[in-house]
Amino acid sequence: MSFADAYFSKQQGIPFHIPQPPSDALQYTVVIPACNEENIQQVLDSLWHCMRPAGAVEVIVVVNAPETAANEIRAVNQNTLLEIATWCKTHHEDRFRVYTLDATDLPFRHAGVGMARKIGMDEAVWRFNRLGKPGGLIFSLDADCLCDPTYFTETEKFLNRYPQADGFNVYFEHPVSGHEFAGPIFQGIIQYELHLRYYIQALRFAGFPYAYHTVGSCYAVKASSYAKQGGMNRRKSGEDFYFLHKIFPLGNFFEINTTRVIPSPRPSLRVPFGTGPVVHKYLLNEKPLETYHPDLFEMLRHFFIVVPLLYKQSPSSAEKILQPLHPVLKDFLSSADWQRSLAEINSNCSSPSTYAKRFFRWFDGFRVLKFLNFASREYPRIDVRDAALHLLKLAQVNTAADTGVFELLMVYRELEKKEAWVNPLPQ
């Protein structure tokens, strides 16, 4: 019995399409969903020009669309399949293989990027399962991304040092200048990337234990961890946020900051939120991007400081401990029925460490977001530049008051690149 047999026994209708057996040396699989993509060769070329690791590499492109897709999208997808087949004729190595999965007629109910990622990642686990390789790595990448030539070799160095890792993020940088995109697109993506980095640094300032990016093109997980946590979901958007917040609590999640993924800043309306929609909205009015008020993260910081004190406390004692918290946060906790949840958590743990893990499985990344949206009614969002400056002041990082958004983004990038391979928070 191999490591993922139990996982696959619970799956229904998962299509496995690759007839060729995996190489015995297979160690890395890159999964790329592609729908209505007109330049799939750029990501394949980027991966092809990477320095080769010791382990073999497979790239699985899931060309996907719903059964209701317009004829124009169907035509582009068929051309993508043809382009990949043509590309493979001149790019082939035993230790670097590219495969396609034709998922261009998915049921409308489930069709979307979540389902496409699931098809590809399940296929990857299936192949690692055949080899009995629970440590095989599955990378999530997007069709409009590029990567540095050290994408695989830096991963290999990292795994040699941290073989216990369940997964990791790969450092990313959107392009912020050049001739490929118009100036307003760069202006929009600079603000959006600053928002992403501000949000993570604000969560770390607050002491949230799972403060990691959840960018769909910039992470990898072990095949065994993927199966253990129930695999990818079929959400049409935000799939990576929910998936990764199942991986983080395993406790061995890291960041690789010595190589880079370069996501596209292109505007798009394929999904309701994320890079594409934000840049699209910015182009409509070119108003400064807004983000969550820094005061909300200070509220969370005070809350997370007293969380350990709630271990095995009676309801009345817990009330006294939470009394000094900001009224907005207490209102949110009341709306979330915190007393019942705390009692359940305390009744199912026998040590402070297990209590902490169970607590933050309840007050997880999704609940943090719910709090921020709840509290934003009284503390409205503010200009991302002002928020980023304020957080740096709280963190005692010296920055001039007139620093612009581009310069602030460079500061935040450097904050995230401080260490080569980092697990930023104690587990």
**255 and 171 Cβ atoms separated by less than 8 Å:** yes
CATH number at residue 237: 3.90.550.10
Q: Is residue 362 part of a domain?
A: yes
Please indicate, yes or no, whether residues 126 and 262 belong to a single structural domain of this protein: yes
In the chain, how many domains are there? 2
- Tell me: pLDDT of 62 over 80: yes
Please indicate, yes or no, whether residues 119 and 192 belong to a single structural domain of this protein: yes
Average the pLDDT over 409-417 and give the result.
94
Please indicate, yes or no, whether residues 274 and 216 belong to a single structural domain of this protein: yes
Q: Is residue 278 part of a domain?
A: yes
Q: Which residues contact 297 (CB under 8 A, 6 or more apart)?
A: 202, 203, 205, 206, 391
pTM: 0.95
Q: Which pLDDT value is given to residue 276?
A: 75
**225 and 250 Cβ atoms separated by less than 8 Å:** yes
- Tell me: pLDDT of 423 over 80: no
Q: Is residue 241 part of a domain?
A: yes
Please indicate, yes or no, whether residues 127 and 241 belong to a single structural domain of this protein: yes
Which residues span the domain enclosing 321? 294-375
Q: Is residue 402 part of a domain?
A: no
Domain boundary among 260, 286, 312: 286
Average the pLDDT over 288-300 and give the result.
96
Please indicate, yes or no, whether residues 191 and 262 belong to a single structural domain of this protein: yes
Q: How confident is the model at residue 427 (pLDDT cuts 50, 70, 90)?
A: very low
Q: Which pLDDT value is given to residue 267?
A: 80
Domain boundary among 360, 375, 390: 375
Please indicate, yes or no, whether residues 78 and 171 belong to a single structural domain of this protein: yes
Please indicate, yes or no, whether residues 144 and 175 belong to a single structural domain of this protein: yes
380/419 Cα distance (integer angstroms)? 34
Q: Which pLDDT value is given to residue 418?
A: 84
- Which amino acid is residue 169, in one-letter code? N
Q: Is residue 63 part of a domain?
A: yes
**265 and 183 Cβ atoms separated by less than 8 Å:** no
Return the minimum-mean-pLDDT range out of 57-71, 138-152, 224-238: 224-238
For the chain, the straight-line distance linking the first and the last C-alpha, in angstroms and rounded, comes to: 31
Q: Which pLDDT value is given to residue 381?
A: 97
- Which amino acid is residue 176, in one-letter code? V
Average the pLDDT over 47-58 and give the result.
98
Question: CA distances (Å), 277 to each of 224, 266, 304, 359, 423, in order?
Answer: 33, 9, 32, 33, 30
Domain boundary among 269, 286, 303: 286
Q: How confident is the model at residue 12 (pLDDT cuts 50, 70, 90)?
A: confident
Please indicate, yes or no, whether residues 304 and 322 belong to a single structural domain of this protein: yes
Please indicate, yes or no, whether residues 218 and 313 belong to a single structural domain of this protein: no
Nearest to 3 by CA among 152, 222, 314: 222
More confidently predicted of 1 and 187: 187
Rg of the Cα atoms in the chain: 22
Q: Which pLDDT value is given to residue 15?
A: 67
Q: Token digits for 252?
A: 């061995």
Q: Is residue 218 part of a domain?
A: yes
Q: Which pLDDT value is given to residue 237?
A: 81
Average the pLDDT over 209-222 and give the result.
96
- Tell me: pLDDT of 426 over 50: no
Please indicate, yes or no, whether residues 321 and 214 belong to a single structural domain of this protein: no
Q: Is residue 399 part of a domain?
A: no
Q: Is residue 178 part of a domain?
A: yes
Average the pLDDT over 350-375 and give the result.
96
Please indicate, yes or no, whether residues 142 and 264 belong to a single structural domain of this protein: yes
**What is the DSSP code string of 143-165?**
TT-EE-TTHHHHHHHHHHH-TT-
Q: Which pLDDT value is given to residue 425?
A: 52
pLDDT in tens, 93-137: 999 999 999 999 999 888 899 999 999 999 999 999 999 999 999
In this structure, how many other beta carbons lie within 10 angstroms of the beta carbon of residue 327? 9
329/347 Cα distance (integer angstroms)? 24
Average the pLDDT over 217-224 and give the result.
98
Measured in degrees and rounded to the nearest 5, phi and psi for residue 14 equal -80, 120
Q: Which pLDDT value is given to residue 13?
A: 63
Q: Which residues contact 123 (CB under 8 A, 6 or more apart)?
A: 16, 17, 18, 31, 60, 101
Return the minimum-mean-pLDDT range out of 265-274, 307-316, 409-418: 265-274
Please indicate, yes or no, whether residues 236 and 306 belong to a single structural domain of this protein: no
